[in-house]
């Protein structure tokens, strides 16, 4: 069952990202680049960066932990670049059109997700240099990084769900089934990631 869920998460992340990109149809206009870069960042790249450590469906299942960690931070760096591009697209678009910023729950959650992702990326460096945090063991640092990463991911996916209520998304006039897939997909991904983090870092602790 766990294998099916992890494989489904890979498929869902790719399908949702492709679906939203095709809906946005990036062009010379600025706004379409906002959903495009954001779904590439939070739905696809961040999902894959986390699922690299999946016990059942990691693309690098046979690789060492060190190799997975290296690929993880490389992919997360790409995540940071893409969400900054997405943020720049919407900020610039609103500025040029004279529209106010931070007027919806979607925008506030989005800012929170971007801030958390930036902090999370910086804190990930402590796993490579644990001596900088002598008060914590490497195991504790990994647990904190995994927990805060799951929270960051949840914020990002929540932002995508809230986007389904935005004027742009509603104007696409999707059927209820398609809308439900776009809104429910990120929730499914959060559940898979939360399960992975729990079983990898906290399950044994609670059993003890």
What is the residue extent of each domain of the chain?
2-207
* Chunked mean pLDDT (size 10), the chain, 208 residues: 86 95 89 95 94 87 88 93 94 92 91 89 80 82 89 94 93 92 95 90 63
Residue 1 has a pLDDT of 72
d(CA 68, CA 63): 7
Identify whether the C-beta of residue 165 lies closer than 8 Å to the C-beta of residue 106.
Answer: yes
Written as six digits, the tokens of 168 are 């742009």
Residue 156 has a pLDDT of 94
Written as six digits, the tokens of 89 are 């697209």
d(CA 124, CA 186): 24
Residue 52 to residues 59, 109, 172, 175: CA-CA distances in angstroms? 6, 26, 34, 34
Task: Note the pTM of the prediction, 2 decimals.
Answer: 0.91
d(CA 136, CA 182): 40
User: According to CATH, what is the number of the domain 2-207?
Assistant: 1.20.120.1770
Residue 206 has a pLDDT of 58
d(CA 132, CA 43): 31
d(CA 154, CA 197): 12
Q: Of 116, 167, 173, which Cα lies nearest the Cα of 145? A: 116
Full 3-state SS string of 17-43? HHHHHHHHCCCCCCCCHHHHHHHHHHH
d(CA 184, CA 178): 10
Burial of 142 (0-12, 13-18, 19+ CB in 10 A): middle
Burial of 198 (0-12, 13-18, 19+ CB in 10 A): middle
Helix (H, G, I), strand (E, B) or coil at 121: helix
Residue 207 has a pLDDT of 56
């Amino acid at each position: 069952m766990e294998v099916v869920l992890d494989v489904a998460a890979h498929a869902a992340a790719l399908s949702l990202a492709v679906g939203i990109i095709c809906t946005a149809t990036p062009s010379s206009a600025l706004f379409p680049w906002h959903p495009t870069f954001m779904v590439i960042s939070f739905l696809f790249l961040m999902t894959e960066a986390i699922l690299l450590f999946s016990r059942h469906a990691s693309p690098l299942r046979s690789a060492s932990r060190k190799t997975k960690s290296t690929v993880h931070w490389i992919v997360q760096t790409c995540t940071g670049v893409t969400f900054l591009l997405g943020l720049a697209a919407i900020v610039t678009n609103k500025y040029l059109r004279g529209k106010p910023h931070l007027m919806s729950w979607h925008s506030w959650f989005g800012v929170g997700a971007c801030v958390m992702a930036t902090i999370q990326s910086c804190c990930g460096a402590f796993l490579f240099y644990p001596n900088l945090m002598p008060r914590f063991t490497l195991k504790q640092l990994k647990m904190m990084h995994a927990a805060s990463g799951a929270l960051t991911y949840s914020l990002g996916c929540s932002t995508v769900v809230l986007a389904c209520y935005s004027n742009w998304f509603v104007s696409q006039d999707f059927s209820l089934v398609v809308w439900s897939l776009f809104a429910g997909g990120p929730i499914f991904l959060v559940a898979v990631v939360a399960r992975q983090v729990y079983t990898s870092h906290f399950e044994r602790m609670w059993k003890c």
